[in-house]
Amino acid sequence: MSLVIPGLPDISSSIVDLIGNTPMLRLRSFEAGLKNVELYAKAEWHNPGGSVKDRPAARMILDGERDGRLTRDKIIIDATSGNTGIAYAMIGASRGYRVRLCMPENVTPERKKVLRAFGAEVVFTSPMEGSDGAITTVRELHAKSPELFFYPDQYNNDSNWRAHYDTTGPEIIEQTGGRITHFVSGLGTSGTFMGVGRRLRDFRREVQLVSVQPDSPLHGLEGLKHMDSAIVPGIYDHTLADVDVRVGTEEAFELTRRLARHEGLLVGISSGANLAGALRIARQTRDAVMVVIFCDGGDKYLSERFWDEGHEHPALASKGEA
């Protein structure tokens, strides 16, 4: 609940109150050569934890409190590639919960430092197994001591996608004046795509829903899943997408660098991947209003070598791929 004082900005009573209502940016320079296509980015790094994952993390924690599964003696535990973990840690610190996270050892140093700053406990898993290794580990820990933990299970929790159905979707409809014709989002847990997509379908059946995922099991697109080779989230329904676009790592890297150096937008790698998918569809259409999710900011990736042109991602280099 927020406190309103005449003549002063709203004062929020909790960090959770600051989640959502993120701005939208028009990407005019990327519209060049398109056929009357308006291209917009939903700037999710404006959430207090710096990513789109603040929305489902808050919803899962609050729903856990409401139904009694989360109590003060429980430890919040889940698998994460970083952003949801940061959101859990931030909200947990605010609401007085311990947080334990399972995540791949090779996540960026910036993410590790943020989690330590919020006081989260981290269990590192094999980098070769990616987010699937973290999922397997958290399931084992929870199975051994279920009474110790509150396990939101972001990959299988309907509160994940419902957070976006109730907030992100309506915001997009309002910010575009109901004119949206295409929605583009990457697939990780798939919560953003599923929640916003379902809300847009309920709003107007004709809206085209475009999912984005890596084009290979071996990729450098942190936070995104190659569904054909990964543990598929229980909340994911592949039939919702009208189009599924596969994006290469280097293509995403190049657009992420371009957004920073030529647009002043320091965003994460998945944002570059989502933009790549959006542009592929935009070049094939006309008279459209397209919204793409920019999932997080680039500050948590600054140690990555891809910022220096000519450096390929270590995971790709190890297999001789470009």
Hey, what amino acid is at 24? M
Cβ neighbours of residue 68 closer than 8 Å, sequence gap 6 or more: none
Q: What's the CA gap between 230 and 246, in Å, rounded?
A: 15
Q: Is 156 exposed, middle or buried (0-12, 13-18, 19+ CB in 10 A)?
A: middle
CA distances from 83 to 51, 191, 228 (A): 6, 13, 23
Collapsed DSSP state (helix, strand, coil) of residue 239: helix
Active-site residue flag, 270: yes
**Annotated catalytic residue: which of 42, 53, 112, 225?**
53
**Annotated catalytic residue: which of 131, 185, 270, 271?**
270
- Please provide the DSSP assignment of 178-234 as one string: T---EEEEE-SSSHHHHHHHHHHHHH-TT-EEEEEEESSSS---TT---TTTS---T
**Among residues 60, 272, 48, which one has the least CA distance to residue 164?**
60
**Among residues 90, 184, 189, which one has the least CA distance to residue 132?**
189
Give the number of residues written for the chain: 322
- As annotated, the active-site residues are 53, 270
